Amino acid sequence: MTRISPLGLVVSVAALTTATLAGPAGAQDNGTLVISTWGFNGDLLEEHLYAPFEEEHGVDIVIDTGNNADRLNRARIRGGGDIDLIYLADAFTQQGIDDGLFAQIDRSQIPNIEQIYPIARAPHGEEYGPAYTVGRYGIIYDSAATDTPVTSWGDLWRDEFAGQITIPGINTTAGQLIVIAAAEQAGVDAFDDPDAAFASLEQLAPNLLTTYGRSSELVNLFAQGEVVIAPAQDFAFGRIQEAVPTAVWAELDEGAFANLNAINVLASTDQPDLALAFINWHLSADVQQTLAEVGVDAPVNVNVRLDPEDAARWTYGQAVIDSLRTPDYAQLNSVREDWTDRWNEVFAE
């Protein structure tokens, strides 16, 4: 049975190493696989992902839960420790790569990679793990609060939204992306001209009620009527719409940004074959189909077929996938410290 450690595993600290994983895709029998992931949908994941894998491979899975930053920091402190696999959002995945925490993998040992959308196969380079789900970062707004539809990132700067907007904080998963949008509003590239980008962000400040750090905060702000528009990840849209039936997802002229949560193997693992087998398992059409249907994640396997009701809740289908923008997270990480300092000057966080 899968065991869960919500406060983190007590593991030893190992030296950081660089490794290349190879070997047969079959897993080792009677072993233990330690997976670091979020705590969401734990029961559904146990039923449809973990337990079937345990039965098929004769292994035990231990789950180490927490948010992106906490889990990545634990892995840093321990040099990987006893963790075998880690699930992280885009920016945090890149940080782990930059820190040398992840093994370079032999992709031939994960044949189901060939069945997933090209955008998800190598979001951080061929040496590292694929994305197992795809989401969008765009704009959600209450259509009853305005007579003019929101069709551009620049609409966040409209005077009618004064004091009615929230944006994600700079240290959240999508925090840096609003800086890119602000730069485009000013007609510049955020990396080439951060002064103009943050001047544009400062012009947005009068429209802001607050910034948010968690999706639950965002949902509450909409539910209480304190905000009517916000840049957000699409996984929060359903909960916002339940609270505010007139809330809609904006179709933006510039396009939404892609959110690609990836799975990577820790360089310190002593279960490389089992880790690769699990990644392959999670990418299979059957598993991806089931997890999409029960409401866990959007699928990336192109062989998944969803009915309209299931499809409506996800970033799904080739046309939608092709419309997404993919930021360069290595470049974003290189400016993180500078942008955080600039952000704090604007918002005094």
Q: What is the mean pLDDT of residues 35-50?
A: 95
Residues with Cβ within 8 Å of 224's Cβ and at least 6 positions away in sequence, in order, are none
- For 32, other C-beta atoms within 10 Å of its C-beta total 15
| CA atoms within 13 Å, Cβ hemisphere of 52 | 15
Pair 244, 273 in one domain: no
Q: What is the mean pLDDT of residues 18-28?
A: 37
The model's pTM is 0.84
| CA atoms within 13 Å, Cβ hemisphere of 248 | 13
- Place 323 in a pLDDT band, splitting at 50, 70 and 90: very high
Q: What is the mean pLDDT of residues 256-273?
A: 95
Closest Cα partner for 64 from 1, 119, 4? 4
Pair 129, 140 in one domain: no
Pair 334, 305 in one domain: no
Pair 202, 293 in one domain: no
Pair 111, 8 in one domain: yes
Are 128 and 97 spatial neighbours (Cβ–Cβ below 8 Å)?
Answer: yes
Instruction: Round to whole Å and give the CA distance between 30 and 40.
Output: 27
Instruction: Round to whole Å and give the CA distance between 324 and 315.
Output: 10
Pair 126, 158 in one domain: no
Instruction: Round to whole Å and give the CA distance between 39 and 67.
Output: 8
Pair 55, 127 in one domain: yes
Domain enclosing residue 222, as ranges: 136-257+329-347
User: pLDDT tens digits, residue range 151-179?
Assistant: 999 999 999 999 999 999 998 878 899 99
Burial category of 343 from C-beta neighbours within 10 Å (exposed 0-12, middle 13-18, buried 19 and up): buried
The CA-CA-CA angle for residues 139, 320, 305, to 5°, reads 125
Amino acid at 307: D
Plot region of 235 (φ>0 → left; ψ -120 to 50 → alpha; else → beta): alpha
Pair 231, 286 in one domain: no
Q: What is the mean pLDDT of residues 137-152?
A: 97
In this prediction, residue 16 carries a pLDDT of 29
Burial 154-172 (b: 16+ CB within 10 A, else e): bbbbeeebeebbbbbbbbb
pLDDT reading at 145 higher than 90: yes
Q: Are strands 20-21 and 208-212 parallel, antiparallel or unpaired?
A: unpaired
Provide the domain count of the chain: 2
Pair 204, 338 in one domain: yes
Pair 267, 182 in one domain: no
158: domain CATH number? 3.40.190.10
Pair 198, 336 in one domain: yes
User: pLDDT tens digits, residue range 227-244?
Assistant: 999 999 998 898 999 999
In this prediction, residue 293 carries a pLDDT of 96
- Place 31 in a pLDDT band, splitting at 50, 70 and 90: confident
Pair 217, 249 in one domain: yes
Q: Are strands 208-212 and 257-265 parallel, antiparallel or unpaired?
A: unpaired
